[in-house]
Structures are given as C-alpha cells and as structure tokens.
Amino acid sequence: MNCEYETTCPNCGRSAQRIFVRDSNVVRTQCSSCDYLLVLCSETGRVIETYSPGMYVVR
C-alpha cells in the first residue's frame, strides 16, 4: 500500500505528488505540470533517479 501526499514541486512551484512506495522503500516525487521526477531511497536518503526539466539541469 502506497501513501500519497500533496507537495510543492521544487522545479516549477506547482502542486506535485509525493508517493511513498512501501514495497521498495522509495519515495517518489513527481510533478505532472513539468515532468519533474525525484526518486529517493527512504532508508538512506540517496537519490536513485532524478529528472528535472527546465531550470535545474544537473549533470
């Protein structure tokens, strides 16, 4: 069972979804307005996957 919260997108500032995936211990933050995506390990806090269109381009 996943927990979903409304949060603010750090990329565009609009509303985004924060989803805790209990099966795999990851936290997904995704924004439907700008396709922002951040996947964190909820145990270690490490970034598993990230995609930030527009303002923040990290290489």
Using CB under 5 A as the binding rule, whether residue 38 contacts Zn ion is answered as no
Q: Which stretch binds Zn ion (CB under 5 A): 8-16, 17-25, 43-51?
A: 8-16
Answer whether 20's CB lies under 8 Å from 42's CB.
yes
Give φ, ψ of 33 to 5 degrees. Answer: -80, -35
At closest approach, how far in Å is the CB of 53 from Zn ion? Answer: 8
Helix spans in the chain (H): none
Answer whether 2's CB lies under 8 Å from 14's CB.
no
Work out which of 33, 42, 53, 55 binds Zn ion, going by CB under 5 A: 33
Q: Could you list the residues that contact Zn ion (CB under 5 A)?
A: 9, 11-12, 31, 33-34, 36
